Each structure stands twice: as C-alpha cells, then as structure tokens.
Amino acid sequence: MAKLAKSPWLLHYDASSCNGCDIEVLDCTTPRFDIERFGIINTGDPFQADILLVTGGVNAQSEAVVKQIYSQMPNPKVVVAVGICACTGGVFKECYNIKGGVDTVIPVDVYVPGCAARPQAIIDGVVKALEILDKKRRDYAQARKSGQADEAEGGNEPWNT
Ligand code: SF4
C-alpha cells in the first residue's frame, strides 16, 4: 500500500442505493473490518475529503449533488463506485429515472462490483484508490510546478464547472 503524507479523508454519498451497499460501507468502519487502520477518516465535509465513495446509481435527483460534491473536493481526489448499481446502474439501469453508473456524471477511478459489495471488496477498492491518489498527488505537484495543475485534474471538464 502507498505511504501517504496525510491521512486520507473519505466522504460517502448514497446516490440512490437500496441501502444494502451502505450497510456494508458502515461495516467497514466497525472494529471487525476497521478501515481506520489505514488512517482513513470518514468525513461529511467535501472540502476536506480526498476520496468520494458513491453507492447506488445516479438518478435525476442525485446527479446535481454528485457533481457538486465532486467539484467541492480539492484536487487531487479519487472516486470509488461501490456496488454494481454505482458501477453501471445495476438492476435499476432501465428505470426511467436512472441515468446510469457514477461515471455517467463524474470520472470514476475504482469500481467495486457486487450486490451488495462485501466489506473486504470495499476495503480492497479503497486501498487501490489510495495508490491512485498517491500517484495523482505526485503528478499534481509536478503539474503545479509547471503551472498546469487544473489541466492535470480535469479542471476544464464539465463536472468542474
Ligand atoms: S448493488 Fe445491490 S445492494 Fe448495492 S445498492 Fe445496488 S441493489 Fe442495493
């Protein structure tokens, strides 16, 4: 696992989940699975978060919220889609109000399939995300030196406007 200079803060958002995946995410924070042993802190503040963990597919109501949370998070950041609904829309994909997986509205770095996704798989996905975050931080620091930080993190993409 990548050694990070700062404890990564994680923000969990339920985009339209049936709550099955959300219960498994909460289980990751219990002493049994203890995701905090990786230094991860669960936060409700997007301005402090490094990792956005989304459950459920994106629907007409949650689309704007997902985009807003993502745009409020400081760069560099990573997104983890947890559960098959967040990955692709899952069983709700054909519903009239479902737009699809999280990557239909913001970029996703790690996909954790499953219905519901198991805590072990969620933790594995978050650890993969930490490695990606570490690389993004190094790339971002390099880009800042050359004055191209916004482009390095998709600053001109529609989800950042
Ligand atoms: S993947 Fe399964 S458990 Fe998770 S939100 Fe979708 S239907 Fe619910």
Structural domains of the chain ordered from first start:
9-160 (3.40.50.12280)
Test site for ligand 1: of 16, 23, 93, 115, most ligand atoms within 8 A of the Cβ: 115
Q: What is the mean pLDDT of residues 137-150?
A: 82
**Strand, helix or coil at 108?**
coil
Ligand 1 contact via 90 beta carbon (within 6 Å): yes
Ligand 1 contact via 95 beta carbon (within 6 Å): no
* Predicted TM-score of the model (pTM): 0.89
Rounded-to-integer distance, Cα 35 and Cα 59, Å: 28
Rounded-to-integer distance, Cα 100 and Cα 51, Å: 21
Ligand 1 contact via 56 beta carbon (within 6 Å): yes
Q: pLDDT, tens digit, for every residue of 72-119? A: 999 999 999 999 999 999 999 999 999 999 999 999 999 999 999 999
Residue 149: pLDDT band (50, 70, 90) is low
